[in-house]
Structure 1
Amino acid sequence: MKVLVIGPGGREHAIVRSLLADPYVSEVHAAPGNAGIAQVVPVHSIDASDPAAVTALAERLASDLVVIGPEAPLAAGVADALASAGIPVFGPSRAAAQLEASKAFAKQVMAAANVPTAMARVAVSAAEAAEALDTFGAPYVVKDDGLAAGKGVVVTSSRDEALAHAQTCFDAGGSVVIEEFLDGPEVSLFVLSDGHNVLPLAPAQDFKRIYDDDAGPNTGGMGAYSPLEWAPAGLVEEVIERVAQPTIDEMAHRGAPFTGVLYCGLALTSRGVRVVEFNARFGDPETQAVLARLKTPLGGLLMAAAKGELDRINDLAWSRQTAVAVVLASANYPDTPRTGDRVRGLKKASALEGVHVLHAGTSLSEEGKVVSSGGRVLAVVGLGDDLVEARSKAYDGVGLLDLEGGQFRTDIGLKAARGEVFGSASKEA
């Protein structure tokens, strides 16, 4: 089958890479793609959030399946346009994507479905925000209600900082969700859905803050690893039973069936599993680590979800290896990322055994050289027999890359490799 992948980032590069390994996939295209994706499949320069443009491209390419990567095209209704044209699409409708586009909506759905999550209040004014902050106390958790590309959350012990973030959202015409702080390690679980049936992938853990030891502001994600050897037995089954299936059932009940991947951002608290938040698409950079281990052909899975046939899929096959993804970000990320810097060492890093490099914010200069074009530039994925070996390979790859002002965390998976379960979970996934 012919597959069109929509999006420009590392998640999309990982998806393209997995689709190319699927013997049933004959052709892969991407739009708009990036410099790395363009090295392996044809790319098309269109606005990924323009429903008409995406549909026209899919029709011209005679695509059998369209896979939508980022959240913005989903919120713009790209999946709706494709479905109306009779083109199978992996990605939820605009109505179903509200699970990510509005945190307040997601809280309503979770309440209706009895899904365990943090207590929360929606605030539309400074007075309401102050009251909510005082109700829950420190640490304070303030989330932009709309799409924020993984960076709309402030978790702080400073009430003034929390109020300032809320005011920034109000000034932009938005609202905020203020929650109780959730203790315990965080887990990311992707659950495929065809609108009724669900199928989980392997859990992962990501690292949102820019600096080691979870310091600094939230980013879109600085690295991830999978599987989680420390995760409690039966965790995936519990999440399916208490979180994913009830949510999918509630969306179907509301007349907005969810087709695509439900990203469950979870906290393993002292009171049990709690949902931190939902995303309506594959998370980045967890996708890079999870798909590196998936042995079941990806194209067939995504097509089954698009066609409402996930119940026909048998158990998934996974590599026994561990995958670690380390993100190389540009100077000044996540505030005002510097772009246009030359990226060197790509061939050397990719030549390492058990290592592959996925492009995110890259493009080609006029001279045909790879340069940075976004905040997160690359993800280096290492595969090893255990977490220690996978980390070593990933960081060996990072060490061969050269990006002026480039930033990366040195502790992706480190504490887990030492046998320490850690982390606080009121972070945006």
Structure 2
Amino acid sequence: MSGLVFPHTFVPWFRAVAPYIHAYRGETFVVGMAGEMIAAGKLSSFAQDLALMHAMGIRIVLVHGFRPQVDEQLRLKGHPAKYHRGLRVTDAVALDCAQEAAGQLRFEIEAAFSQGLPNTPMANATLRVVSGNFLTAKPVGIIDGIDHEHSGYVRRVDGVGIQNALNAGALVLLSPFGFSPTGEAFNLTMEDVATATAIALQADKLIFMTETPGIHEQPDDPTSAIDTELALADAERLLARWPEPALPTDPGFYLRHCVRACRAGVDRSHILPFSVDGALLQEVYTHDGIGTMLVDEKLENLREATSDDVSSLIALIEPFEREGALVKRDRTEIERDIDHYTIVEHDGVIFGCAALYPYVEAGTAEMAALTVSPLSQGQGDGERLLKRIEQRAKAMGLKSLFVLTTRTMHWFIKRGFQQVDPEWLPEERKRKYNWDRRSQVLVKPLV
């Protein structure tokens, strides 16, 4: 039966994305959309995804590109497209073609956001699109002896005007055109406009929808996996290795704009493949995302818990308690012992925890409540938590660490634990041992 919703899959999924909905409500995203994406027929579904995000409280500035559309206009007029170092040389004919292409694309984009077909994400959506002269431009000038004529760079972004439109609930649409104080028009690049706008607004995210899937973990091997999170320092080292990128398909083309934004205070920049349906939603509302995210530092944070984390810890642990994998702990107990817990959080969402209970007189400590969310299992969070708990125990001068488990004995054995009889437990812990549960006791020396 088509359209059937299965609660056993829908409900856990919806609960899983809820933390991201809360985290991003009220934040500002600048999204750069390559003209190739529109040429590939992806505009309608992409507009629906943006409308969903807008409905969930995200403030959106959309910047469209138009390289292939301008090239097509030039071809129809029998006029060659001219580029130098990846930048268009915009003569009078190319400027006319750019104006025609921009007008046509703005019409198509506004139409896409105005559709309200039943049984689509746009049904009952009221999304107002606002555009205007928010950009002041300056000429590129002469580079290597070549006059770029009407090609320009962004000189200034009217951040206040854009913020006012966003505050009114509108989606702001920017074309890659700017005007000088004398009214002269300049053809800009989508990447420059999106980056400059994100910096002017101090946006929470700059997102490029591109022809490329992201940055590969082995940049010289295009068959290697995509690096889902890249630190600014690592990105700068990569750019230093590559020649100046001139084409959108060059590995550093979008990355250099992400680096520029990150250096100027934009928290996160993303390079996403428009060829994947729903790539934007996957990147924003799932743990691992789909493309490459550039951050000033790794967003994965390992730290000790505070009282503000109690509710999130309960939500993380409770499903495992229901299954019997963990011993039931009530809220009072977790609040009382909150300083015993270490957590792994990613982008403000808690994905793992473990607690340390020392038995100083016996020279040992228990690691309890080791939990990793199903959304991030297999990513190494368990190992990171174990290492931090071991470090905390060593800092207390303790000689060993033990765990009680009914289901994950082999995981601990692979990491240096050895099984012992429950009689080994410190007397205080032995009195609380649940003989009916028959938990395995495993010990690891701390050396």
Same fold (TM over 0.5): no
Which TM class, normalised by the smaller chain length?
A: under 0.3
User: When you count helix as a share of all residues, which structure comes out higher?
Assistant: 2
Normalising by structure 1, we get a TM-score of 0.25
TM-score, structure 2 normalization: 0.25
Structure possessing the higher radius of gyration over alpha carbons = 2
